[in-house]
Amino acid sequence: MFNVSLEQGYSATTMLAVAAAAVVLTATFYRRTFGALPGRQWLALLVLRSVAILVVVLLLFRPVFSYHRDIERRRQLVFLLDSSSSMSISDDATGVTRFNQARQLVQRWWEKLRGDLDLRLIEFSEQARPLDDVERLAGLRPDGKATSLAAALQAARKVAQPGDVEAVILFSDGVHNSAGEPLEAAQQMGMVVHAVGVGASLRSDAAYRDIQVTGIDCPDQLLLDNVAKITASVEAVGLAGRVVRVILEEDEQQLDEVELTLDSVEGSQPVEFEFRPATAGRHTYSIVVPPVGEERIEENNRRSAVALVIEPGIRVLYLEGTIRAEYGALVQRFLAKDPDLEFCALVQTRPNVFLKRSNIDGLQLEAIPADAEAVNSFDVFLLGDLDASYIRPAQQELFVRRIRDGAGLVMLGGYHSLGPGGYAGTPLGEILPVQLGGREVGQITEPFLPVLTPEGTRHPIFANIAGFFPTQQGEPQTAGLPPLDGCTRVGPARPGATVLATFPDASGPMAVLAVQPVDRGRTAVFCGDTTRRWQQGPRAADRKSPFLRFWGQLIRWAAGRSEAVEPGASVAGSTDKGYYEPQEPIHITAVVRDQDGEGTDGAKVAANVRGPKGRPDQVVLSVAVGPGGHYAGTFEPATAGAYEITVEAKIGDQTLTAEKMVVEVGRPNLEFERLDLDDKMLAQIASDTGGRYVHVTTADYLVEQLDRSQQNRREYLTVQLYWPPLLWLVFVGVLTAEWILRRRFQLR
């Protein structure tokens, strides 16, 4: 059946009448006007003009040819097959895995239904993937690291149209532990979903015996050489009274072991481990319970977590009594430039009124701290030209207690520090490595360079910079370091102290830099005034300077560190975790130093990320709040698996590359945390879509309920009988041809 209609709403008769009338009028006009011409000539002109008129009529009325046809179409049936790792277990009497039970049923149904229905097949774990043919099932393995039932249902919507689908059949054990909400996805399907449950409700089996590590509470970051705690949760079924070993492993090497007596109470039993991480870096910590003979499932006897073992951060509290040259040098050229330090500098502008400079975000500290919580938040105390009278004895006791517990104290020389500042006999003065003398002890104003003792040349504070200073054996190996303006007088070193540098006094060497341990902490005295000259002089002459490394290594020693400060440009990258849940953002940070070893905020920094599928991504890192040279950015992983991250920084024309990092997305052993068939989830999905839930052992009858009849469908088609570009081309062509003939026939 066909029909010709007009888009403008007129009938085809009207269009033909208009065309005929126009042609007749044109023929009458041409006959009167060109009657003297031979018949073939005026007839040619008439044909060309008639064609032009017909083109205009078609453009005005726009005719359309429409027709319909009846076709038969097969309905679609979509199979969703769970290929996650939880489908790899064998939990029935036959010993066949869950996956093989489901795969065999799909293959059998495929052969039975392929002649009547349009079949589609999708395998899924954390993501869904359509398969071209059922033959691909033979090479498929249940090794997915997570399961998303929501992703499977959403994939079914993409491969089929709701009106053409007989049903979707979901084969799964119901375990859902990845992105999305299955019930919400089911309600949006618009098509029937039949759910086929695979597996067993293990806990309902009286003969079932199992030990499962249900949880591991491990911090994302652990501090090097500090006490760390990892708590495991162990649950057992049918093994009450049995004594088992619970093992803590670091990178598959045993760290500790405890014995646990299993109880009969439903729920997990906690097991705690305490240890001190000895190696910095990313480590995998595992809780392992060796399986007992009666267990059928051993995959859930281990659970792992990844943690970053890092050096504890160094927080410095700098208290200064006056805005002097040393304060400006330490804050502007050292503390603010060292990427490894967080600091708060308080300088007294008038009695007990302080001006604060800090790179610690959100720190609420406007005066000398007077409570233990505030004092204990710092690792190193740097005391400048501040009289002892401004720090009350109770406050000093708080500082001393924190130092004895592991912090460091560095007291600088000045007109109101050490002996001249009244620290002799105070709690702080008593833990310093030198005797201070009274307020009248005075200053030395003679310019000098500190002379290193043999102990000083070997000490970490002077690592790689001892050559800038004279020693007891001779002059500096590297000349040109400006002398200090003088120093504060101090008394002899205390027993147990180590003198690292001296002033060559006529009456005998006087300690300029001395250190000593105080219980678990450390104290140091540096009497010199002022090291700003070490920074300004060499920089003006474009020479190397020990300024940054001297102060950086002094503060690190006071904090209990021994690493040397290396000059030169560098970039180091890190992440906040070692593993992430699917779709959890990865936070990437970087520390960038310029050619002087200072943290720089002027670099262009990016992280190149390569995921498990090999597709590269780039994340631009921007300057972060906190110490100088710190950058941060965020990347959202699309799938589970290993991600390689390499940070690059550009400083001018120089490109720096950090060591490659690898992080895991998807919790290890996630698929074996819960192995019971979740028939409630599958039944609810089926119910919400108007389908049925059956177990794989009784599912064959479901095929007989499917409607295999083909659909009769009428399809309507339309064809436009005009195409404006072509018609306009014809119109111009015939008018041009008529004009040419007129000229040839010598007509106007």
Overall average pLDDT of the 679-706 stretch: 91
Kindly state the average pLDDT of the residues 446-450: 94
Highest-scoring range by mean pLDDT, 39-48, 87-96, 364-373, 712-721 = 364-373
Most confident range, picked from 64-68, 437-441, 574-578: 437-441
- Report the phi/psi class of residue 676: left, alpha or beta, with left for phi > 0 and alpha for psi in -120 to 50: beta
pLDDT at residue 711, rounded to an integer:
54
At residue 713 the predicted structure's pLDDT band, cuts being 50, 70 and 90, is low
Q: What is the pLDDT of residue 714?
A: 59
Q: What percent of the chain has pLDDT over 90?
A: 51
Tell me, what's the pLDDT at 694? 94
Plot region of 171 (φ>0 → left; ψ -120 to 50 → alpha; else → beta): beta
How confident is the model at residue 3, as a pLDDT?
65
Higher pLDDT among residues 90 and 66, named by residue: 90
Which of 89-98, 218-227, 646-655, 732-741 is predicted most confidently?
A: 646-655
Q: How far apart are CA 354 and CA 58, in angstroms?
A: 90
pLDDT at 75 over 80: yes
Measured CA to CA in angstroms, residue 101 lies from 153, 222, 259 at distances of 21, 44, 38
Which residues is 410 bridged to in the sheet? Answer: 382, 524
Q: Extract the tokens encoding 129.
A: 């993937």
Q: Look at residue 710 and tell me whether its pLDDT is greater than 70.
A: no
- Mean of pLDDT over the chain: 87
The arithmetic mean of pLDDT across residues 99-125, rounded, is 92
Q: Which of 16, 27, 24, 21 is nearest to 58 (CA)?
A: 16
Map residue 14 onto helix, strand or coil. helix
pLDDT at residue 307 above 90?
A: no
Q: Does the pLDDT value for residue 347 go beyond 90?
A: yes
| Residue of 50 and 248 predicted with greater confidence | 248
Cα(598)–Cα(233) distance, rounded to whole angstroms?
46
Q: How many CB atoms lie within 10 A of CB 263?
A: 14
Average pLDDT score over residue span 93-112: 91
- pLDDT computed for residue 541 by the predictor: 78
pLDDT for res 282: 82
Cα–Cα distance measured from residue 569 to residue 341, given in angstroms and rounded to the nearest whole number: 17
- pLDDT score of 119 more than 70: yes
Q: Which of 32-41, 146-155, 279-288, 433-442 has the lowest mean pLDDT?
A: 32-41
Of the listed ranges 92-96, 412-416, 450-454, 602-606, the least confidently predicted one is 92-96
Lowest mean pLDDT among 29-43, 360-374, 452-466: 29-43
Q: How confident is the model at residue 667 (pLDDT cuts 50, 70, 90)?
A: low
Helical residues (DSSP H) of 630-700, grouped into ranges? 679-688
Please say whether the beta carbons of 98 and 198 come within 8 A: yes
pLDDT attached to residue 603 = 93
Categorize the per-residue pLDDT at 209 as very low, low, confident or very high, splitting at 50, 70 and 90.
confident
The yes-or-no verdict on residue 606 having pLDDT over 80 is: yes
Q: Is the pLDDT of residue 741 over 90?
A: no
pLDDT value of position 373: 94
Please state, in angstroms and rounded to a whole number, the distance separating the CA atoms of residues 368 and 379. Answer: 15
pLDDT band at 670 (very low <50, low <70, confident <90, very high): confident
**Does an H or E element contain 511, and which?**
strand 510-518
Peptide bond into 530 cis (omega under 30): yes
Nearest Cα residue to 411 out of 389, 429, 390, 437: 429
Lowest-confidence pick of 23-32, 471-480, 492-501: 23-32
d(CA 696, CA 691): 15
Average pLDDT over residues 563-585: 80
pLDDT value, residue 595: 84
Q: What is the pLDDT of residue 580?
A: 81
pLDDT value, residue 132: 85
The distance from CA 610 to its chain's CA centroid, rounded to whole angstroms, is 12
Q: Which two tokens stand for residue 47?
A: 């044909």
Residues near 687 by Cβ (< 8 Å), separated by ≥ 6? 693
Token pair recorded at residue 578: 């070692």
Range with lowest mean pLDDT among 438-447, 614-623, 732-741 = 732-741
Count of CB atoms within 10 A of residue 521's CB? 23
What would the two tokens of residue 568 be? Answer: 């030169």
Biggest CA-to-CA distance, the chain:
142
Q: In sequence order, what are the residues at sequence separation of 6 or more whose Cβ sits closer than 8 angstroms to the Cβ of residue 253?
A: none
pLDDT at position 111? 92
Give pLDDT tens digits for 140-185. Answer: 999 888 899 999 999 998 888 766 788 999 999 998 988 789 999 9
- Residue type at position 478: T
pLDDT greater than 80 at residue 582: no
pLDDT score recorded for residue 67: 67
Rounded to the nearest 5°, which phi and psi values hold at 14? -60, -45
Give the span between the Cα atoms of 742 and 118, in whole angstroms: 65
In this structure, the number of other CB atoms found within 10 A of the CB of residue 379 comes to 24
Mean of pLDDT values over 235-258: 92
Report the candidate in 484, 515, 545, 498 with the shortest Cα–Cα distance to residue 380.
515
The domains of the chain, with CATH numbers, are 2-70+718-744 (no CATH), 75-201+676-709 (3.40.50.410), 210-310 (2.60.40.10), 314-558 (3.40.50.880), 570-665 (2.60.40.10)
Condensed to tens digits (0 to 9), the pLDDT of residues 625-635 reads 888 899 999 99
**Position 693 pLDDT exceeds 90:** yes
Q: Does the structure show a pLDDT above 90 at 280? A: no
Is a pLDDT exceeding 90 seen at residue 287?
A: yes
